[in-house]
Amino acid sequence: MMDESLRVNLRNETLKWLKRAEEKLQTLSGDKNVLRNIRAYLDDSKWFLEKGDFIRAFECVIWAWAWMEIAEEVGLLKN
């Protein structure tokens, strides 16, 4: 079982990165499939947050961020 302070910190970090990822996503255009996958990870992150599964919520937001970074780097998305 996760310590309460760790749960709070993980929840707060997830919310912080979720907000940043959603803001960044609004500026991106390009490959529709990549954008759909990013949105799916962000939706999953929110779902896991609602369920109190903060580890999976954080993992999902990190995956969304990774998709954005990689897709920009290889030219599938642009600002």
Question: What pLDDT, in 10s, does the model give residues 16-39?
Answer: 999 999 999 999 999 999 999 999
Report pLDDT for 1: 67
Contacts of 38 (CB under 8 A, 6+ apart): 21, 25, 64, 67, 68, 71
For residue 52, the SS3 value is: coil
Specify the CATH number for the domain of residue 63. 1.20.1270.90
Q: Which structural domain, as residue segments, surrounds residue 18?
A: 4-78
Report pLDDT for 2: 74
Report pLDDT for 43: 98
Segment 7-15 shows an average pLDDT of: 96
C-alpha torsion angle, residues 18, 57, 15, 78 (rounded to 10) = -10
Q: Say whether pLDDT at 41 is over 90.
A: yes
- Number of domain units in the chain: 1
Share of the chain above pLDDT 70, in %: 99
Q: Is the pTM of this model over 0.85?
A: yes
Give the distance from CA 72 to its chain's centroid.
Answer: 15
d(Cα 24, Cα 39) in Å, to the nearest integer?
Answer: 12
